[in-house]
Structure 1
Amino acid sequence: MHLHQATPLIPSRALSLLAGRDVWLKMEAFQPPGSFKIRGIGLACQHYLHQGAERFVSSSGGNAGMAVAWAGRQLGVPVIVVVPETTSARAVELLRQENAEVIVHGASWQEANHYAQSLSGSKDAFLHPFDDPLLWQGHATMIDEVAADGCKPDVVILSVGGGGLLNGVVEGLQRNGWHDVPVIAVETEGAASFHAALQAGHTVELAAINSVAGSLGAKRVSEQSLRCAATHPIHSALVTDSQAIAACSRFLNDHRVLTEPACGASLAVIYDSHPLLAAFRKPLVIVCGGATVTAEQLWHLSEKR
């Protein structure tokens, strides 16, 4: 039994008319916990439960933490989620709704993560937000579903934070024999750890995250993401916070679906006709979702821009 749901693959009339090409959307925002994260985290939670784990420990106040909390409730396993002080009250409320014990610790995710790892005992399973092969294996199932639906895109557009989604999509493309389908990996300019790694030839730690797209706020991308770039065609794209926010607002109007700025980064490639798009006629956008965003938050972000 999978904890994730098979999500709709839909042609977007609005985006297709705007872009002058056949735009498809994989609607991961429709997953029960609000984002694609449940695919990999659900698989990992089931794996660790089978190995005897009696509690799940996570270090994310965003989509990953929500996925762990939701999976724990479904499986009847207690969950601790350690979140940094910057986590919104809304996110903490949602985590507690899933019966998770929430501990607020540290000024950054790195500090929360270190503390969460210190809490993890021999009967606990620690769920990393993005850097675990089990997560990539689970995330790859979204491409399995696209293939099963008989739709082969000529490019996949997705957002990159720590790289878990990128790693999973590349795994899915390759295991379906779609080595010829490249990926456009999108980041906001203030959270571009993958772009920096490509330029340096190795992973580097950003001095700070300066972006409203908090879910893209990994200071260092996973090593696996660089390995993916060496074995699969991947193009790095950068957008501004303003573009990501505007894309969320436009997508809400076009498709009646609320997404966070991290997801808006990918949608901005279509809405703002990014130059990389010119070479492709049938793009697939992973609408990765956003568990904690509200319409009011999006409105305030839009007003500030």
Structure 2
Amino acid sequence: MTTSSGKSLIERILTARVYDAAIETPLDKAKNLSSRLNNNIFLKREDLQPVFSFKIRGAFNRMFQLTEPERARGVVAASAGNHAQGVALSGKQLGIRTTIVMPKTTPDIKVNAVKSFGGNAVLHGNNFDEAYAYARQLEREEGMTFAHPFDDLDVIAGQGTIAMEVLRQHQDPIDAIFITVGGGGLLAGVGSYIKYLYPNTKIIAVEHEEAPTFHDAFKAGKRVQLAQVGTFADGAAVKLIGEQTFDIASKIVDETILVNTDETCAAIKDVFEDTRTLLEPAGALGLAGLKKYVEHYGLQGKNLVTITSGANINFDRLRHVAERAELGEGREILLAVTIPEQPGSFRQFCHAIGNRSISEFNYRYANQREAQVFAGVKISGGKAEREILLNELRAQHYSFVDMSDNEVAKIHLRYMVGGHAQGIENEVLYRFMFPERPGALLHFLTSMGGNWNISLFHYRNHGSDYGRVLVGIQVPPNERAEFQKFLENLGYEYWEETQNPAYQRFLG
């Protein structure tokens, strides 16, 4: 592609000014993931940049190219967070006043980073597009210079320097590179340079299914304005891909892939296990797409590259990522199971699960006939083992529904199983703590035997050393001494919570 100034994009990439602020990041082989997928998986570690994102490259190159009058007017930008940090840090190094408009939904870690670099962070709107419109308004009203986060040739060229490094660091042929798409600057820059030198390398664009900005445009052959976008991968949540980025990317992209939240969370976990680094969701989209592509085409022995494009994740989001990663990797199955409402039925169900670990068990007494249990079961063999388990339960005549792909169940239902039990008698509530090891839960149920009916049960494996269980048990007054003996012989720490006001108000 030749720009209006007569300078090709490749020339712009070759002459881009980025290393005053950015670093050359390593291209690391993901050893664990490569072994598991039977391919050579390489991670271009842009999460190691000073702002923990590749965005510093394009931002600095854009601001370095400004004329003195443009610098004097100050720079305004719109960003969901990572471009914002790049602009703020570049402004600090170049002595340029910066104002960055960010959506109100931007994680605090990104807002605080902008402020720490001396940028004026302005929170406006609920998404990137609303922030963008306000930034352009400030540009007009205050005469500032606008630094576009992606639809600018200097920004695209800055991002393209990643490709220069990749090809220096991996001199053998690369079969495919998987690139996250938000506004398209990374895709256009990196894809153009690699395709120019190695036309046989496949350029694969990856997006979250709730923000298929490029996917829909690529399919339609023109830019498509999305009505709305999800914000889980906030760094890539853009309603309309850039005009220049689409024009460039549409000529060099071979395929597009959409990934979901569970697949993205699983990719975050994969990178953590290989590097001990926590990516933000947008930063892991490329790897999620790579894994999906490998499974779909059954690839083996290929050299595959993806860019870990950002690591600005809020700590409080880790809980959600951890919950969904196991499902995304196919290592956990969620089941709604009907079992008889009678003593011993929990223990029998645990035996039906076999040697698999139970990751979650939620239940509340409803009637005297049947019990509805929400259970999570760990599996290691992916879809094949999932089918084996379901067939085993069918053979034992259990009635169940597989909830593993049910968004309501994954987000809400698992936390809502419970409530008041009508007509229940002699219920006592106990909290137990026991070593988190295989068989510990079954030991608890086996020790209790069939003497008393369990009327409430909540357990969730959180990966800690000790498991925590909340149990409601129907124990008639004349059997309390025998029950106390059972507790002492069990060998687990326990606390009675029958008089706990939380239980009295919401469960009793």
Match of 2:61 among 4, 27, 43: 43
- Greater shift after overlay, 294-303 or 63-72? 294-303
CA distance in 2, matches of 1:253, 1:295: 17
Amino acid at match of 1:32: P
The 1:200/1:119 distance shift into structure 2, 3 A limit, reads same
- Greater shift after overlay, 279-288 or 164-173? 279-288
CA offset at residue 226 of structure 1? 3.6
Counterparts of residues 150-299 of structure 1 (less than 5 Å) = 150-151=170-171, 152-175=173-196, 177-272=197-292, 273-276=294-297, 278=299, 281-290=302-311, 292-299=312-319
- TM-score relative to the length of structure 2: 0.56
Match of 2:98 in 1: 79
The 1:132/1:225 distance shift into structure 2, 3 A limit, reads closer
Match of 1:56 in 2: 75
Match of 2:128 among 109, 117, 121: 109
The 1:102/1:23 distance shift into structure 2, 3 A limit, reads same
Match of 1:9 among 22, 27, 36: 27
The 1:233/1:77 distance shift into structure 2, 3 A limit, reads closer
Q: Deviation per CA, 1:163-221: give whole Å up to 9, x if none.
A: 1110011222144x122211111111101111111221111111111241111111011
The 1:137/1:94 distance shift into structure 2, 3 A limit, reads same
> Which secondary structure does the structure 2 equivalent of 1:53 belong to?
helix
CA distance in 2, matches of 1:280, 1:167: 27
CA offset at residue 276 of structure 1? 4.9
Conserved 8 A contact 1:61-1:92: no
Conserved 8 A contact 1:44-1:135: yes
CA distance in 1, matches of 2:182, 2:35: 29
Match of 1:33 among 27, 47, 51: 51
CA distance in 1, matches of 2:231, 2:134: 24
Is the aligned partner of 1:118 residue 2:137? Answer: yes
- Greater shift after overlay, 276-285 or 140-149? 276-285
CA offset at residue 284 of structure 1? 0.8
CA offset at residue 62 of structure 1? 1.0
Is the aligned partner of 1:148 residue 2:168? Answer: yes
Conserved 8 A contact 2:39-2:300: no
> Which secondary structure does the structure 1 equivalent of 2:66 belong to?
helix
CA offset at residue 269 of structure 1? 2.9
Q: Deviation per CA, 1:114-162: give whole Å up to 9, x if none.
A: 2212222686321111111111111111111122224241111111111
CA offset at residue 18 of structure 1? 1.4
The 1:99/1:184 distance shift into structure 2, 3 A limit, reads same
The 1:172/1:277 distance shift into structure 2, 3 A limit, reads farther
Match of 2:37 in 1: 19
Percent identity between matched residues is: 31
CA distance in 2, matches of 1:302, 1:86: 21
Higher relative contact order (CA 8 A, sep 6+): 1
The alignment covers a number of residue pairs equal to 303
The 1:31/1:277 distance shift into structure 2, 3 A limit, reads farther
CA offset at residue 253 of structure 1? 2.1
CA distance in 1, matches of 2:151, 2:176: 24
Match of 2:118 among 91, 94, 99: 99
